[in-house]
Amino acid sequence: MKGKRDPKVIVFCCNWCSYAGADLAGVSRLQMEPHFVIIRTMCSGRIEPSFLVDAFSKGADGVLIAGCHPGDCHYIDGNYKTIRRFYLLRRIIEQMGIDPQRIKLEWISASEGTKFQTAINTFINKIAEMDPFPQSTEFT
């Protein structure tokens, strides 16, 4: 049944930019939905497609990937790798029966705490209005 609920959202943040942006949002005491867990990675380019599939199989309702703005990656082209993987992954998960709106990609720098707040609140509210993700390790 669709309706407002408390979803489970996983947020993969790159160490250098988006994690610092999330930290800035927190220390600035910006109001955010509490229904997310951050997993810190060295680079958004390090996030393997299997990480997202694993997150869904373990009960996540949505996954947000946050990384450095294109051109600002500390590992030169890690976020360009992320862009390519993200669009491929959206097509793959749709074939697995997962709504591609359950994943989102955002570019958030270390100084963009307000952008992190907006991105997380918008995404969580969107996921909250969707049906819960089936709590099964098998996809339709």
Q: How confident is the model at residue 109, as a pLDDT?
A: 97
Q: Considering only CA atoms, which of 17, 11, 20, 22 is closest in space to residue 78?
A: 17
Judge whether 97 lies within some domain.
yes
Judge whether 90 lies within some domain.
yes
Average pLDDT in the chain: 91
Judge whether 70 lies within some domain.
yes
The number of angstroms, rounded, from the C-alpha of 2 to the middle of its chain's C-alpha atoms is 21
Q: How confident is the model at residue 53, as a pLDDT?
A: 87
- Please state, as a whole number, how many other Cβ atoms lie within 10 Å of the Cβ of residue 102: 24
Q: How confident is the model at residue 140, as a pLDDT?
A: 37
Which residues in the chain land under pLDDT 70? 1-4, 135-140
Q: How confident is the model at residue 97, as a pLDDT?
A: 87
Q: How confident is the model at residue 138, as a pLDDT?
A: 46
For residue 81, the enclosing domain spans 9-128
Q: How confident is the model at residue 2, as a pLDDT?
A: 54
Judge whether 99 lies within some domain.
yes
Q: What is the CATH number of the domain that holds 13?
A: 3.40.50
Q: How confident is the model at residue 135, as a pLDDT?
A: 65
Q: How confident is the model at residue 99, as a pLDDT?
A: 94
CA distances from 92 to 24, 95, 120, 139 (A): 34, 5, 24, 12
Judge whether 134 lies within some domain.
no
Question: Is pTM beyond 0.85 here?
Answer: yes
Cα gap 16→54, rounded to integer Å? 24
How many domains in the chain?
Answer: 1
Cα gap 9→99, rounded to integer Å? 14
Q: How confident is the model at residue 137, as a pLDDT?
A: 45
